[in-house]
């Protein structure tokens, strides 16, 4: 900067000095010298002219001496001179005019030049501005392009990632499909193997059971021969009643089980069974059979209008109620079984999640359906089999089509199913301690029955309709027997004084006058005056 | 800044000296000759611009009395091969204007002056000055690269007083490679009024080895230290170029580019300060 200022200083000094010099040396004298030279020219011209005139004058003087005739010549000469003078003056004025005009045009041209210079400067300034704009726009353009490139790159990366993920996904899908296939294959193979095993065991059990049947028949025949006295300290007692009605009769007769099951009431000896049935004299005994832990199955029978059942049973033995057949095939404990309405077939539900359809004439399993969940109870109508399951669902099966028509989901594991007399209502009991009545025509829960103390004691706690459908009976985990009035929906009676452990199952007599209940502690109570 | 430089070039080119030519009294004339006034171009040469003078004075003389015309100022014959501006600054810079030159037609001083029979002699002298200057500046590369017509253009520009025509060619001689920072050597001549030496001319670089630009003061310190006034002293000498006194800190390279004469030399006159 200092350099620039210093530079300006000496440069300015030089420029100023030159201007000063020109003023003193040139401008001061320019005009004068010009005019002087012009005067000089004029003077020269005049000198030339005057010389000529002088020469002429001498001639004229000489001419005067010679003759007067020369006077005319001198006149003519004078005239010529005057004319020349006039002409010269004219020329001079013309030249002055021309000079003025030229000076004028010079000034005009100078002005034009200055104007043009100014225009040029303006244009240059504008051009500079435009160039700056252009460069800034170019800068912006470059920035935008680089932005765009970055975005494209990012986009490409995302696309690549997506493709990679897509590939992984399809690979995993494939794996899943294959695994599912393998699983299905394995399941079907397993089922086939189990079926084979069951068949094998069936055959064995057939032999076994036949042997045992023979043995039992013999024993029963022996036992029947002896009369058995009834004593006071038998396990039959008469209970007086306090609150609810208690009929202290005998425990309901039981159909045979091979080995005592853990859960149920005790098995009375065969003789007792015998005598009980004779006492009652009609069909109406509820029997429940529980599945033993081992693999073969005992048929459980619940007498519906079941005289035919007993007749059927009676066929094969001298007395009624002897073991007729053992149907094997289930791979888990059989939790429930029913005669179909044609009484020629039995449908059974098992812990092994299947339902099996048995033909009694051929005594083989006709059909197995995989229900998906352990079946706790079964009821059937003419076309439909309803099964209640561990997975809280009640499944409605069409007998002919052998497929699920409908499913009804409850809020707890289904422990019991019962149909009313005209098979329009389904009674369900579930582990959420609610007893629901479902209208089969609308498939909606018509009524929910509950009681404060009512709790399901096991996964197979049974509740039943009364024969006229106006009462529902169910046993609770604390040993109390609850009777609900269907019309009111409220508990009609609570019989809680006689059972000491959880009640597993209850059953009404066909007349509706008696209720039999069995408890986990191997006791059965028959209630009267219902 | 470039505009200012161009102004400087123009002012230098169009510099004029008002001159009064008076015929020597001893010349024989038929009648009295009036003085002839003329504005002489500083950058030109006497014999190139004085045709009118000759014509004017020949009017009053007899042809048999006319020999080669020569000029003198206050007794000193004026060398026509010096630029007119140099002659004025050297001999008459502080005298009253106009410059009074006496015209002679007789007794040509052979010992002091060169003969000038025709303008081609002036041309030859002018071109040789240019070549000498370029030899110092560019080792003669630029001037040798020019064609004959370019040389002619330089001469015609000077002869016809055409600034643009001259500088169209001369600017090539003023260029230098940027890394050098200036010419190789500066072509200059320092004239002294009272001296037996005609002038001082030596090799002098415009840029120091460290890259600093030398100034007029540096040149004078080196070549003519007496010209520089020390602090406290009275100024004894004026350093005149083209009729002005540039500041001593003016860079020498810039002076050579802008204040040279058309013959590409920087003519510097050192004259005693007028003591009035």
Has residue A73 got a pLDDT over 90? no
Q: In terms of pLDDT, which residue wins out, A77 or A237?
A: A77
Whole-number Cα distances in Å, A320 to A226, A314, B67: 17, 4, 186
Has residue A264 got a pLDDT over 50? no
Has residue B48 got a pLDDT over 90? yes
Q: In terms of pLDDT, which residue wins out, B203 or A9?
A: B203
Q: What is the pLDDT of residue B2?
A: 57
Grade residue A269 by pLDDT with cuts at 50, 70 and 90: very low
Instruction: Name the CATH code of domain A334-528 (choices 3.30.1370.60, 2.130.10.10, 3.20.20.140, 3.40.50.620).
Output: 2.130.10.10
Segment of A259-263, A477-481, A507-511, B140-144 carrying the highest mean pLDDT = B140-144
Q: What is the pLDDT of residue B30?
A: 80
Q: Is A140 exposed, middle or buried (0-12, 13-18, 19+ CB in 10 A)?
A: exposed
- Give the mutation candidate from A2, A29, A48 for the B interface (greatest B CB count, under 10 A): A29
Grade residue A304 by pLDDT with cuts at 50, 70 and 90: very low
Which region among A160-164, A405-409, B81-85 has the lowest average model confidence (pLDDT)? A405-409
Interface check for B38 against chain A (CB to CB < 8 A): the answer is yes
Count of CA atoms in the C-beta half-sphere (13 A) of A214: 5
With H, G, I as helix, E, B as strand and everything else as coil, classify residue A140: helix
Contact A497, A246 (CB under 8 A): yes
Q: What is the pLDDT of residue A362?
A: 85
Cis before B26? omega within 30: no
CA distance A139 to chain B (A): 31
If you count residue pairs, one on A and one on B, with CB atoms under 8 Å apart, how many are there? 84
Among the partner-chain residues B7, B98, B251, the one whose CB lies closest to the CB of A15 is B7
Give the integer Cα–Cα distance in Å for A356 and B59.
161
Give the integer Cα–Cα distance in Å for A413 and A389.
6
With H, G, I as helix, E, B as strand and everything else as coil, classify residue A258: coil
Has residue A300 got a pLDDT over 80? no
CATH architecture of B15-104: Roll (3.10)
Q: In terms of pLDDT, which residue wins out, A69 or A175?
A: A175
| B15-104 and B177-276 share one fold | yes
pLDDT 10s digits, A102-146: 999 999 999 999 999 999 999 999 999 999 999 999 999 999 999
Bridge-partner residues for B19, per DSSP? B38, B99
What is the residue-wise DSSP string for A279-343? HH-SS---------SSSS-------SSTHHHHHHHHHTSSSSS---------SS-EEEEEE-TTS
Among the partner-chain residues B4, B34, B243, the one whose CB lies closest to the CB of A15 is B4
Segment of A74-78, A332-336, B67-71, B94-98 carrying the highest mean pLDDT = B67-71
Give the integer Cα–Cα distance in Å for A453 and A479.
10
Nearest residue in chain A measured CA to CA from B31: A47
- Residues of chain B with pLDDT > 90, as a percent, come to 70
Q: Which residues of A are less than 8 Å from B7 in CB distance?
A: 15
Has residue A310 got a pLDDT over 60? no
Has residue B78 got a pLDDT over 90? yes
Token readout for A452 is 């404060």
Q: What is the pLDDT of residue B147?
A: 93
**B11 to A22: CB separation less than 8 angstroms, yes or no:** yes
What is the residue-wise DSSP string for A436-466? EEEETTTTEEEEEE--TT----STT--EEE-
CA distance A23 to chain B (A): 10
Nearest residue in chain B measured CA to CA from A14: B246
Q: Yes or no: is domain B177-276 CATH 3.10.20.90?
A: yes
Grade residue A67 by pLDDT with cuts at 50, 70 and 90: low
Neighbours of B226 (CB within 10 A): 10
Bridge-partner residues for A393, per DSSP? A409
Average pLDDT, chain A: 79
Interface check for B214 against chain A (CB to CB < 8 A): the answer is no
Q: Which residues of B are less than 8 Å from A48 in CB distance?
A: none
A156-181: average pLDDT: 96
Token readout for A333 is 């404990």
CA distance B146 to chain A (A): 31
Q: What is the pLDDT of residue A229?
A: 62
**A33 to B56: CB separation less than 8 angstroms, yes or no:** no
Interface check for B217 against chain A (CB to CB < 8 A): the answer is no
Q: What is the pLDDT of residue A5?
A: 66
CA distance B255 to chain A (A): 10
Q: What is the pLDDT of residue A291?
A: 28
Q: What is the pLDDT of residue A311?
A: 38
Contact B261, B173 (CB under 8 A): no
Q: In terms of pLDDT, which residue wins out, B253 or A252?
A: B253
**Which has the closest alpha carbon to B80: B56, B104, B58?**
B104
Has residue B37 got a pLDDT over 90? yes
Q: What is the pLDDT of residue A76?
A: 86
A505-510: average pLDDT: 85
- H or E segment at A379? strand A375-380
Q: What is the pLDDT of residue A231?
A: 53
pLDDT 10s digits, B117-175: 899 999 999 999 999 999 999 999 999 999 999 999 999 999 999 999 999 999 999 99
A432-451: average pLDDT: 87
**A11 to B254: CB separation less than 8 angstroms, yes or no:** yes
**B38 to A17: CB separation less than 8 angstroms, yes or no:** no
**A29 to B244: CB separation less than 8 angstroms, yes or no:** no
Contact A525, A516 (CB under 8 A): yes
Q: What is the pLDDT of residue B94?
A: 86
**B247 to A40: CB separation less than 8 angstroms, yes or no:** no
Average pLDDT, chain B: 91
Largest CA distance in chain B: 68
| Integer-rounded Cα radius of gyration of chain A | 68
B255-261: average pLDDT: 94
- Give the mutation candidate from B101, B243, B245, B259 for the A interface (greatest A CB count, under 10 A): B243
B16-23 and B99-104 beta bridge pairing: parallel
Q: Which residues of A are less than 8 Å from B247 in CB distance?
A: 9-10, 13-14
**B18 to A33: CB separation less than 8 angstroms, yes or no:** yes
Interface check for B51 against chain A (CB to CB < 8 A): the answer is no
Has residue A4 got a pLDDT over 70? no
CATH number of B118-175: 1.10.246.190
Contact A265, A457 (CB under 8 A): no
CA distance A6 to chain B (A): 9
A3-15: average pLDDT: 79
Residues of chain B numbered 4-23 and touching chain A (CB < 8 Å): 4-5, 7-8, 11-12, 14-18
Q: What is the pLDDT of residue A239?
A: 53
Interface check for B104 against chain A (CB to CB < 8 A): the answer is no
- SS3 for A44-98 is HHHHHHHHHHHHHHHHHHHHHHHCCCHHHHHHHHHHHHHHHHHHHHHHHHHHHHH
A37-53: average pLDDT: 89
pLDDT 10s digits, A442-466: 888 888 888 888 888 888 888 888 8
């Amino acid at each position: 900067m200092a350099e620039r200022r210093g530079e300006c200083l000496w440069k300015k000094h030089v420029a100023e000095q030159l201007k000063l010099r020109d003023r003193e040396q040139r401008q001061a004298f320019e005009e004068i010298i010009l005019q002087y030279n012009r005067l000089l020219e004029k003077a020269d011209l005049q000198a030339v002219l005057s010389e000529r005139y002088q020469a002429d004058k001498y001639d004229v003087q000489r001419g005067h001496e010679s003759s007067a005739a020369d006077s005319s010549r001198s006149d003519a000469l004078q005239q010529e001179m005057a004319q020349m003078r006039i002409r010269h003056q004219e020329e001079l004025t013309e030249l002055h005019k021309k000079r003025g005009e030229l000076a004028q045009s010079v000034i005009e041209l100078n002005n034009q030049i200055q104007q043009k210079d100014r225009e040029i400067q303006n244009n240059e300034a504008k051009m500079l501005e435009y160039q700056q704009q252009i460069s800034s726009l170019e800068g912006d353009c470059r920035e935008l392009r680089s932005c765009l490139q970055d975005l494209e790159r990012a986009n490409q990366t995302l696309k690549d990632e997506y493709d990679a993920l897509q590939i992984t996904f399809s690979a995993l899908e494939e794996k899943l499909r294959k695994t599912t296939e393998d699983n299905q294959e394995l399941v079907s193979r397993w089922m086939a193997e189990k079926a084979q095993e069951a068949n094998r065991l069936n055959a064995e059990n057939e032999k076994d059971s036949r042997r045992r049947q023979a043995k039992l028949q013999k024993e029963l025949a022996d036992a029947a021969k002896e009369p058995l006295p009834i004593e006071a300290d038998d396990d039959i007692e008469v209970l007086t009643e306090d609150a609810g009605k208690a009929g202290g009769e005998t425990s309901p007769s039981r159909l045979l089980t091979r080995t005592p099951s853990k859960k149920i009431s005790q098995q009375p000896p065969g003789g007792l069974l015998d005598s009980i049935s004779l006492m009652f004299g009609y069909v109406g005994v509820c029997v429940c059979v529980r599945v033993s832990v081992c693999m073969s199955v005992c048929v459980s029978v619940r007498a519906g209008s079941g005289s035919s059942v007993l007749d059927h049973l009676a066929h094969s033995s001298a007395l009624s109620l002897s073991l007729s057949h053992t149907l094997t095939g289930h791979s888990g404990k059989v939790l429930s079984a029913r005669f179909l309405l044609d009484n020629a077939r039995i449908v059974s539900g098992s812990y092994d999640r299947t339902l099996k359809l048995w033909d009694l004439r051929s005594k083989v399993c006709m059909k197995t359906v995989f229900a998906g969940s352990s079946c706790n109870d079964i009821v059937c109508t003419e076309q439909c089999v309803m099964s209640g399951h561990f997975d809280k669902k009640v499944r409605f099966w069409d007998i002919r089509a052998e497929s699920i028509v409908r499913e009804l989901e409850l809020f707890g594991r289904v422990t019991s199913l019962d149909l009313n007399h005209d098979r329009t209502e389904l009674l369900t009991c579930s582990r959420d301690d609610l007893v629901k009545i479902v209208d089969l025509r609308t498939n909606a829960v018509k009524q929910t029955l509950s009681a404060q103390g009512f709790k399901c004691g096991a996964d197979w706690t049974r509740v039943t309709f009364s024969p006229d459908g106006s009462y529902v009976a169910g046993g609770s985990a604390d040993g109390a027997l609850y009777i609900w009035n269907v019309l009111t929906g409220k508990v009609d009676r609570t019989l809680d004084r006689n059972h000491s452990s959880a009640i597993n199952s209850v059953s009404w007599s066909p007349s509706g006058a008696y209720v039999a209940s069995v408890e986990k502690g191997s006791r059965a109570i028959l209630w009267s005056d219902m | 800044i470039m505009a200012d430089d161009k102004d400087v070039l123009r002012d230098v080119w169009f510099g004029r000296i008002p001159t009064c030519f008076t015929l020597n009294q001893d010349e024989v004339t038929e009648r009295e000759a009036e003085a002839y006034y003329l504005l002489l171009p500083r950058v030109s040469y006497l014999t190139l611009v004085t045709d009118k003078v000759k014509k004017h004075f020949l009017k009053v003389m007899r042809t048999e009395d006319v020999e080669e015309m020569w000029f003198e100022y206050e007794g000193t014959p004026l060398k026509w091969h010096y630029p007119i501006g140099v002659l004025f600054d050297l001999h008459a810079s502080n005298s009253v204007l106009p410059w009074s030159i006496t015209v002679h037609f007789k007794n040509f001083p052979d010992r002091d002056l060169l003969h000038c029979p025709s303008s081609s002699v002036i041309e030859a002298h002018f071109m040789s000055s240019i070549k000498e200057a370029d030899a110092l500046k560019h080792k003669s590369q630029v001037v040798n690269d020019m064609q004959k017509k370019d040389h002619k253009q330089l001469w015609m520009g000077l002869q016809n007083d055409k600034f643009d025509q001259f500088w169209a060619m001369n600017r090539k001689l003023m260029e230098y490679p940027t890394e050098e920072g200036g010419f190789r050597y500066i072509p200059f001549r320092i004239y002294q009024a009272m001296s037996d030496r005609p002038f001082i001319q030596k090799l002098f670089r415009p840029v120091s080895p460290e890259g600093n630009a030398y100034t007029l003061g540096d040149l004078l310190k080196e070549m003519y230290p007496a010209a520089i006034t020390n602090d406290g002293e009275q100024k004894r000498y004026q350093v005149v170029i083209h009729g002005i006194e540039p500041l001593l800190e003016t860079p020498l390279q810039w002076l050579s580019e802008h204040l040279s004469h058309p013959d590409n030399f920087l003519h510097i006159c050192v004259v005693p300060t007028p003591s009035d």
